[in-house]
């Protein structure tokens, strides 16, 4: 018994020394261009999904009017998300291309098959948009946005899958025409003026 225990401890010590040496020698390549092994990728995905489910499933999703969340969601999405997640008809941006892991392109996705799955996804999306995801480039928007705006975005991104570039443009324009401006992020709009909107010219290309 003692011999087995000593062997295991000895083995663990050797692994710890080799790992420590490998890390201090810079063996691990931290570059975004160096992809994970398939097993590492699967482990991260497993951990990510369980971590999100453990925190998101207990949330209560509010009931929002479709016209309301589409407009609020579209305005915020257009100002803050398209550079990574793209808008219907928009070509891949340089920023999105360089990210690892890759940001999902919502307009190329379809809704889950049933209402339960849609509800679970809405809660997960709300949690992700609010809290962000470590070491991926996905920011935590809850530091600067209230829950209602985040629920609107969580619902809106799921509508992108059935949306044409024209429908998307109409939603954006509808909001900028209206007087009851709810988007309080002047800085976000000014970002657009400073070059973020270069994609607007591409938006109608399918």
Using CB under 6 A as the criterion, which residues of the chain lie in contact with ligand HEC when the complex forms?
Answer: 48, 76-77, 80-81, 83-85, 99, 101, 103-104, 125, 128-129, 133, 136-139, 141, 153, 157
Q: Answer yes or no: are the C-beta atoms of 122 and 155 closer than 8 Å.
A: yes
CB closer to ligand HEC out of 16 and 95: 95
- Cα distances from 38 to residues 35, 41, 44, 61, in angstroms, run 9, 5, 10, 34
CB closer to ligand HEC out of 80 and 87: 80
Q: How far is the CB of 85 from ligand HEC (least distance, A)?
A: 5
Q: How far is the CB of 125 from ligand HEC (least distance, A)?
A: 4
Q: Encoding tokens for residue 17?
A: 């020394």
Residues 6+ away with beta carbon under 8 Å from 21: none
Q: Using CA atoms, how far apart are residues 8 and 14, in angstroms rounded to an integer?
A: 10
Q: How far is the CB of 194 from ligand HEC (least distance, A)?
A: 15
Q: How far is the CB of 199 from ligand HEC (least distance, A)?
A: 13
Q: Using CA atoms, how far apart are residues 121 and 155, in angstroms rounded to an integer?
A: 9
CB closer to ligand HEC out of 7 and 57: 57
Label residue 156 exposed, middle or buried (CB < 10 Å: 0-12, 13-18, 19+): buried
Q: How far is the CB of 177 from ligand HEC (least distance, A)?
A: 22
Nearest CA among 191, 153, 134 for reference residue 71: 153
CB closer to ligand HEC out of 20 and 104: 104
Q: Is the link from the previous residue into 101 a cis peptide, with omega within 30 of 0?
A: yes
Q: How far is the CB of 70 from ligand HEC (least distance, A)?
A: 14
CB closer to ligand HEC out of 5 and 38: 38
Q: Encoding tokens for residue 165?
A: 């570039």
Q: How far is CA 94 from the centre of its chain?
A: 17
CB closer to ligand HEC out of 20 and 98: 98
């Amino acid at each position: 018994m003692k011999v087995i225990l000593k062997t295991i401890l000895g083995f663990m010590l050797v692994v710890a020394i080799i790992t420590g040496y490998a890390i201090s020698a810079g063996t691990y390549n931290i570059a975004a261009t160096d992809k994970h092994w398939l097993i590492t990728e699967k482990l991260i995905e497993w951990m990510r999904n369980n971590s999100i489910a453990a925190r998101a499933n207990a949330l209560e999703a509010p009931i929002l009017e479709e016209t309301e969340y589409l407009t609020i969601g579209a305005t915020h999405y257009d100002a803050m998300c398209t550079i990574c997640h793209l808008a219907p008809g928009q070509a891949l941006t340089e920023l999105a291309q360089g990210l690892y892991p890759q940001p999902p392109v919502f307009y190329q996705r379809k809704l889950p098959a049933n209402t339960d799955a849609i509800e679970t996804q809405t809660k997960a999306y709300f949690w992700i948009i609010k809290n962000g995801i470590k070491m991926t480039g996905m920011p935590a928007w809850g530091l600067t946005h209230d829950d209602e705006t985040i629920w609107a975005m969580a619902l809106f991104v799921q509508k992108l899958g059935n949306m044409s570039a024209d429908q998307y443009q109409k939603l954006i324009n509808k909001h900028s025409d209206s007087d009851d401006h709810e988007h309080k992020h002047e800085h976000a709009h000014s970002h657009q003026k400073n070059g973020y909107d270069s994609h607007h010219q591409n938006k109608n290309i399918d």
